[in-house]
């Protein structure tokens, strides 16, 4: 049975207003009386009606998490970190899905629910670029912030993302120490901002280490279409000077590269070393087991939620940062059997 504040007040012989002040932390209530009321509320099983409270205060203590339905392991880790951080701060979360191929009407429908449900803010994870502006415009009408996690954020946005340059440097240095000098990058979908950024940063890091970079040093393919990825692997391996190592923008791409190398009769790792990105659970079950860069997905999600809550809980209009929080630590190279010195070393 639902216990009301009036019942708590009647049981203690005090006014309902005093109970309201004690439970909300507002008003003037002595420490002794506040303890008595809180103890009575706990004993009687009182549960605060957050929806009613939201109607009065305008704050629901609910954060929305908007993502696409194709949740892979990396995204799942981001979501887990976001859920845990929100809970640590006393916020509930509402998970919403918006497919990449949703038309504008579908996107508007999903985004408008964010306002209807009185969400205090929304965290975006893996959402298409064309839907972002719809979301930001809708949330801005209610002065509710939008943040990004592990997503290529637009300029002057709230959130957190991983610094891919820090990750690539670890992998490139490792391959150079093994003796590799011809290293190429297998990238993902050419229309995705993340794929293009990761590709450009990888080439930049190769240049930092003094390695040759030309038109055969990289190609963009797909995040999940095996045929397109295979075509990209063949393009790289058909270069006038075949690379001795491939850096792949994701573990799925690296797994396709392993398959293509086997079909071409190349021995991995001695004739071709392959490095993945993400260190998903499946990477240790490939043949050979995949060397991969571990990304601190949970950590970046926690930072993103903290950034979001700073705006949710502020009583003032905080200007947007020039750049979201950039996470430069937490990367590790998990070395397995897909990398070794090149055959000539």
Residue 345: is it exposed, middle or buried by C-beta count within 10 angstroms (0-12/13-18/19+)? exposed
Domains in the chain and their CATH numbers? 5-48 (1.10.260.40), 60-161+298-327 (3.40.50.2300), 164-295 (3.40.50.2300)
Lowest mean pLDDT across 23-37, 89-103, 302-316: 23-37
Average pLDDT over the chain, rounded to an integer:
86
27 C-beta neighbours (distance < 10 Å), count: 11
The pair of three-digit structure tokens given for residue 135, joined into one six-digit string: 């979301």
Q: What is the pLDDT of residue 27?
A: 65
Q: What is the pLDDT of residue 222?
A: 92
Length of the chain: 345
Residue 6 banded pLDDT, cuts 50, 70, 90: confident
Angle of CA points 19, 20, 22, to nearest 5°: 65
Give percent of the chain above pLDDT 70: 90
Most confident range (mean pLDDT) of 51-55, 157-161, 186-190, 254-258 is: 254-258
pLDDT higher than threshold 70 for residue 150: yes
pLDDT higher than threshold 80 for residue 51: no
DSSP output for 214-283: -TTSEEE--SS-HHHHHHHHHHHHTSSS--SEEEESSHHHHHHHHHHHHHTTPPTTTT-EEEEEE--GGG
pLDDT higher than threshold 80 for residue 143: no
Residue 1 banded pLDDT, cuts 50, 70, 90: low
DSSP output for 268-319: TTTT-EEEEEE--GGGGGSSSPPEEEE--HHHHHHHHHHHHHHHHS-SS-PP
pLDDT higher than threshold 90 for residue 251: yes
Non-local (6+) Cβ contacts of 196 within 8 A are 187, 190, 220
DSSP output for 97-126: E--TT--HHHHHHHHHHHHHTT-SEEEEES
Q: What is the pLDDT of residue 155?
A: 65
Q: What is the pLDDT of residue 320?
A: 75
**pTM to 2 decimal places:** 0.78
Nearest-angstrom CA–CA distance, 326 and 312: 20
DSSP state of 208: H
273-297: pLDDT as tens digits: 999 999 999 999 999 999 999 999 9
Lowest mean pLDDT across 97-111, 207-221, 325-339: 97-111
Mean pLDDT of the 263-268 span: 96
191 C-beta neighbours (distance < 10 Å), count: 11
Q: For residue 251, give the nearest of 157, 171, 329, 149 by alpha carbon.
A: 171
pLDDT higher than threshold 70 for residue 16: yes
């Amino acid at each position: 049975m639902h216990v009301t504040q009036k019942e708590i007040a009647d049981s203690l012989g005090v006014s309902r207003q005093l109970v309201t002040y004690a439970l909300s932390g507002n008003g003037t209530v002595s420490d002794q009386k506040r303890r008595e009321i809180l103890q009575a509320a706990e004993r009687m099983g009182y549960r605060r009606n957050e929806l009613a409270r939201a109607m009065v205060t305008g704050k629901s203590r609910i954060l929305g998490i908007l993502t696409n339905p194709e949740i892979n392991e990396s995204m799942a880790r981001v979501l887990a970190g976001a859920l845990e951080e929100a809970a640590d701060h006393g916020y509930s979360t509402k998970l919403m899905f918006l497919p990449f191929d949703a038309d504008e009407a579908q996107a508007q429908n999903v985004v408008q629910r964010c306002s209807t449900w009185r969400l205090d803010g929304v965290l975006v994870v893996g959402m298409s670029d064309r839907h972002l502006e719809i979301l930001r415009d809708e949330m801005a009408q209610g002065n509710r912030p939008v943040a990004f996690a592990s997503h290529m954020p637009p300029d002057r946005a709230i959130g957190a993302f991983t610094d891919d340059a820090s990750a690539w440097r670890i992998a490139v240095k490792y391959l150079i120490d093994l003796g590799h000098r011809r290293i190429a990058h297998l990238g993902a979908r050419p229309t995705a901002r993340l794929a293009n950024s990761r590709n450009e940063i990888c080439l930049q890091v190769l240049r930092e280490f003094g390695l040759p970079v030309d038109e055969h040093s990289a190609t963009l393919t797909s995040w999940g279409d095996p045929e397109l990825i295979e075509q990209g692997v063949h393009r790289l391996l058909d270069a006038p000077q075949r690379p001795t190592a491939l850096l792949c923008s994701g573990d799925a791409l690296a797994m396709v590269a392993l398959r293509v190398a086997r079909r071409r009769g190349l021995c991995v790792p001695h004739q071709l070393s392959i490095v993945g990105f993400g260190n998903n659970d499946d990477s240790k079950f490939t043949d050979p087991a995949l060397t991969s860069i571990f990304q601190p997905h949970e950590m970046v999600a926690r930072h993103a939620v903290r950034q979001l809550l700073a705006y949710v809980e502020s009583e003032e209009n905080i200007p947007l940062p020039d750049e979201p929080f950039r996470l430069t630590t937490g990367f590790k190279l998990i070395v397995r059997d897909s990398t070794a010195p090149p055959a000539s070393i």
